[in-house]
């Protein structure tokens, strides 16, 4: 089973090598912003970006596509990021899609190994490192390479995050987690199960059904994103995580680019205007009832065909 992971990894490296030999000769413009590596699992209040253009941006992008290991000084659990864009004279979608297919196959192979070993989902990084060795970074291995074959009119880079995100979980899953924690504490501290705080939290959910939904709120760390416009609409047509440079074809009359700026937490203290009051269930676990959000009619997409030809919906 570990040989299957090694084989999938070699296929992934080969697909990127083929692409790296091909795309630099098609470049008409290139710009990237290098972010500092995180030495701890905490995002600093100030993130200063370093800009590179032309051949320097091309070289950094080639390296970033194959940057699967933790770099010296990089904290485990963090990722290296290189937001930016590579403007091509012609799209190279088959090669980009082949890379993402190999990434999906690599992830599926790890998952299949996990199931065969009957391990928890959290064991995936450990399985990968046992198969490949070294300080491999799972997120850097499987993150998608983005490409858009149709002409881009505007490309804007900005920072996302520094807000609260929500994960929807069933009450049954929360009960199971609390019971496991309560039993572990009772055994460790040699106390009765019903005296553990986790069991008391477990009992606080008695009036709820297993299928009821709770929202677990968590802070989202700031991260770069890119928004793309293909037509003349005021709203962007696509928004992606800018972990790696995006491969685009500029519009005939030029592509307007809004550069990524430094992130400064002190300048982002304003509260969002659409924040709703939360109804707590287990505040110590950041668990709340879902807010009542009226359904919005689905907006008509004028760029559906464009997005289907890209990596956006795959």
| pLDDT of 229 strictly over 60 | yes
The Cα–Cα gap between 279 and 60 comes to 47
| pLDDT of 248 strictly over 50 | yes
Percentage with pLDDT > 70 across the chain = 88
CATH 3.50.14.10 fits 1-152+224-267, yes or no: yes
| pLDDT of 297 strictly over 70 | no
Strand pairing category for 147-152 and 246-250: parallel
Three-class HEC string of the chain = CHHHHHHHHHHHHHHHHHHHHHHHHHEEEEEEEECCCCCCCCCCCEECCEEEEHHHHHHHHHHHHCCCECCCCCCCCCCCCCCEEEEECCCCHHHHHHHHHHHHHHHHHHHHHHHHHCCCHHHHHHHHHHHHCCCECHHHHHCCCCEEEEEECEEEEEEECCEEEEEEEEHHHHHHHHHHHHHHHHHHHCCCHHHCHHHHHHHCCCCCCCCCEEEEEEEECCEEEEEEECCCCCCCCEEEECCCCEEEEECCCCCEEECCCCEEHHHCCCCCCCCCCCEEEEHHHCEEECCCCCCCCCCCCCCHHHHHCCCCCC
pLDDT at 304: 73
The Cα–Cα gap between 311 and 314 comes to 5
Dihedral sign (CA 265, 245, 313, 17): negative
Average pLDDT over residues 208-230: 85
Average pLDDT over residues 251-256: 94
pLDDT at 302: 58
Average pLDDT, the chain: 87
- Among 76-80, 106-110, 268-272, the range scoring the smallest mean pLDDT is 268-272
The pLDDT tens digits for 44-65 are 888 999 999 999 999 999 999 9
Confidence band for 310, pLDDT divided at 50, 70 and 90: confident
Alpha-carbon distance values, 66 to 21, 105, 200 (Å): 13, 17, 48
- Among 59-63, 127-131, 186-190, 294-298, the range scoring the smallest mean pLDDT is 294-298
Average pLDDT over residues 250-269: 88
pLDDT at 20: 97
The pLDDT tens digits for 148-201 are 999 999 999 999 865 555 678 898 988 888 998 899 899 999 999 999 999 988
pLDDT at 270: 52
Taking residue 52's Cβ as centre, other Cβ atoms within 10 Å add up to 18
| pLDDT of 216 strictly over 80 | no
pLDDT at 268: 62
Residue with tokens 């710009």: 31
More confident residue, 271 or 22: 22
pLDDT at 295: 47
The Cα–Cα gap between 58 and 85 comes to 10
Residue with tokens 């037509």: 231
pLDDT at 298: 47
């Amino acid at each position: 089973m570990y040989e299957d992971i090694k084989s999938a990894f070699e296929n992934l490296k080969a697909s990127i090598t083929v692409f790296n030999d091909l795309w630099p000769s098609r470049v008409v413009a290139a710009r990237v912003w290098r972010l500092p590596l995180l030495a701890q699992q905490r995002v600093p209040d100030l993130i200063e970006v370093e800009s590179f253009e032309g051949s320097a941006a091309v070289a950094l992008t080639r390296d970033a596509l194959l940057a699967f290991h933790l770099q010296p000084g990089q904290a485990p659990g963090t990722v290296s990021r290189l937001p930016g864009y590579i403007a091509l004279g012609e799209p190279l979608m088959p090669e980009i899609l082949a890379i993402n297919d190999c990434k999906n196959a690599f992830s599926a192979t790890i998952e299949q190994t996990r199931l065969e070993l009957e391990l928890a989902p959290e064991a995936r990084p450990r399985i990968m490192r046992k198969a490949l060795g070294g300080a491999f970074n799972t997120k850097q291995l499987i993150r998608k390479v983005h490409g858009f074959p149709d002409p881009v009119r505007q490309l804007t880079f900005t920072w996302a995050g520094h807000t609260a995100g929500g994960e929807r979980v069933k009450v049954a899953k929360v009960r199971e987690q609390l019971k496991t924690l309560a039993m572990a504490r009772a055994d460790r501290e040699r106390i009765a199960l019903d005296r553990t705080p986790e069991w008391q939290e477990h009992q606080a959910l008695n009036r709820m059904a297993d299928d009821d939904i709770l929202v677990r709120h968590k802070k989202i760390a700031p991260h770069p994103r890119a928004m793309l416009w293909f037509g003349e609409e005021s709203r962007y047509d696509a928004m992606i995580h800018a972990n790696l440079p995006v491969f685009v074809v500029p519009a005939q009359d030029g592509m307007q680019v809004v550069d990524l700026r430094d992130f400064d937490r002190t300048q982002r203290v304003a509260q969002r205007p659409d924040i709703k009051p939360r109804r707590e269930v287990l505040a110590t676990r950041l668990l709340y009832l879902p807010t009542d959000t009226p359904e919005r009619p689905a907006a008509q997409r004028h760029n559906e065909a464009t997005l289907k030809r890209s990596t956006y919906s795959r």
